Structure 1
Amino acid sequence: MMKTASSTPTAYYIGLMSGTSLDGIDAALVSITPGTPPKLLATAAVAMPDTLHAQLLHLCHAPVAHFAELAAAEDAFCRLQAQAVTALLTEQGLVPAQITAIGSHGQTIEHAPQGHQGGPAYTLQLDNPSLLAELTGCTVVADFRRRDLAAGGQAAPLAPAFHQALFGQRQGEQLVLNLGGFANLTWLPQEQERAVVGFDTGPANALLDAWFAKHHTGRFDENGTWAASGQIDQALLARLLQEPFFHQPPPRSTGRELFHLAWLSDHLTGDEAPRDVQATLAELTAVSVAQGVTQLPLSQPSATLLVCGGGAHNAYLMERLAAHLPKVTLLSPATLGWPEDWIEAGAFAWLAHQRLHGLPGNLPSVTGASGPRVLGGIYAP
Structure 2
Amino acid sequence: MHTWCIGLMSGTSADAVDAALCAFDDQRFRGVHATASLPYPADLRARLLALQRGDCVLALGELCAIDNAVAICFAQAAQTLLAHTGLHASAIAAIGSHGQTVFHDPEHTGSSLQLGNPALIAARTSITTVADFRRADIARGGHGAPLVPAFHHALFADAGEPRCVVNIGGIANITVLPGEDQAAVRGFDTGPGNALMDEWAELHLNEPYDRDGHWAASGSVQPALLDVLLNDSYFARPPPKSTGRGQFNLAWVRHRYPRLDQLARADVQRTFCELTALTIAHAILDHAPATRRVLICGGGARNTFLRTRLGEVLGDSIALDDTADHGVDALWVEAAAFAWLALCTLHGRPGNLPSVTGARSPAILGGIYRG
TM-score of Structure 1 vs Structure 2, range by shorter chain: over 0.9
| 2:358 paired with 1:365 | no
1:40–1:346 Cα contact (<8 Å) kept: yes
Question: What do the CA deviations read for 1:317-349 (whole angstroms, capped 9, x no partner)?
Answer: 111101101122110111222000000001100
| 2:34 paired with 1:45 | no
Q: 1:274 aligns with which of 265, 281, 284?
A: 265
Report SS of the residue matched to 1:235: helix
Percent of counterpart pairs with the same letter?
47
User: Closer, same or farther in 2 for the Cα pair 1:239/1:255, shift >3 Å?
Assistant: same
1:303–1:329 Cα contact (<8 Å) kept: yes
Letter matched to residue 167 of structure 2: N
Q: Which residue of 2 aligns with 1:7?
A: none
2:22–2:29 Cα contact (<8 Å) kept: no
In 2: Cα distance, 1:25 partner to 1:106 partner: 9
| 2:46 paired with 1:54 | yes
The 5 Å alignment of 1:96-115 reads: 96-115=89-108
Q: What TM-score do you get using the length of structure 1 for normalisation?
A: 0.93
2:20–2:32 Cα contact (<8 Å) kept: yes
Shift of 1:250: 0.5
Q: RMSD over aligned Cα, in angstroms?
A: 1.4
Report SS of the residue matched to 2:176: strand
In 1: Cα distance, 2:174 partner to 2:94 partner: 28
Q: Which residue of 2 aligns with 1:135?
A: 124
In 2: Cα distance, 1:127 partner to 1:170 partner: 38
Shift of 1:218: 1.4
| 2:147 paired with 1:158 | yes
In 1: Cα distance, 2:30 partner to 2:226 partner: 40
2:9–2:18 Cα contact (<8 Å) kept: yes
Q: Which residue of 1 aligns with 2:88?
A: 95
In 2: Cα distance, 1:86 partner to 1:229 partner: 41
1:162–1:350 Cα contact (<8 Å) kept: yes
User: Closer, same or farther in 2 for the Cα pair 1:193/1:154, shift >3 Å?
Assistant: closer
In 2: Cα distance, 1:193 partner to 1:297 partner: 15
Q: What TM-score do you get using the length of structure 2 for normalisation?
A: 0.96
2:104–2:113 Cα contact (<8 Å) kept: yes
| Count of residue pairs brought into register by the alignment | 367
Q: 1:339 aligns with which of 325, 329, 332?
A: 329
The 5 Å alignment of 1:63-74 reads: 63-74=56-67
2:285–2:314 Cα contact (<8 Å) kept: no
Report SS of the residue matched to 1:106: strand
Letter matched to residue 257 of structure 1: G
Q: Which residue of 1 aligns with 2:21?
A: 29
1:38–1:166 Cα contact (<8 Å) kept: no
In 2: Cα distance, 1:352 partner to 1:211 partner: 35
The 5 Å alignment of 1:1-381 reads: 3=1, 10-34=2-26, 36-60=28-52, 61-115=54-108, 120-168=109-157, 171-192=160-181, 194-268=183-257, 269-270=259-260, 271-298=262-289, 300=290, 303-326=292-315, 327-381=317-371
In 2: Cα distance, 1:244 partner to 1:296 partner: 17
Shift of 1:75: 1.5
Letter matched to residue 268 of structure 2: V
1:38–1:350 Cα contact (<8 Å) kept: no
Shift of 1:192: 1.9
In 1: Cα distance, 2:254 partner to 2:239 partner: 27
Question: What do the CA deviations read for 1:121-165 (whole angstroms, capped 9, x no partner)?
Answer: 111111211110110010000000000000000000001011011
Structure 1: gaps spanning 5 or more residues: 4-9
Structure 2: gaps spanning 5 or more residues: none
In 1: Cα distance, 2:234 partner to 2:160 partner: 33
User: Closer, same or farther in 2 for the Cα pair 1:355/1:21, shift >3 Å?
Assistant: same
Shift of 1:101: 0.2
2:95–2:130 Cα contact (<8 Å) kept: yes
Shift of 1:362: 0.2
Question: What do the CA deviations read for 1:240-260 (whole angstroms, capped 9, x no partner)?
Answer: 011000000000000012111
Shift of 1:63: 4.9
In 2: Cα distance, 1:12 partner to 1:170 partner: 29
Letter matched to residue 26 of structure 1: D
2:159–2:180 Cα contact (<8 Å) kept: no
User: Closer, same or farther in 2 for the Cα pair 1:169/1:33, shift >3 Å?
Assistant: farther
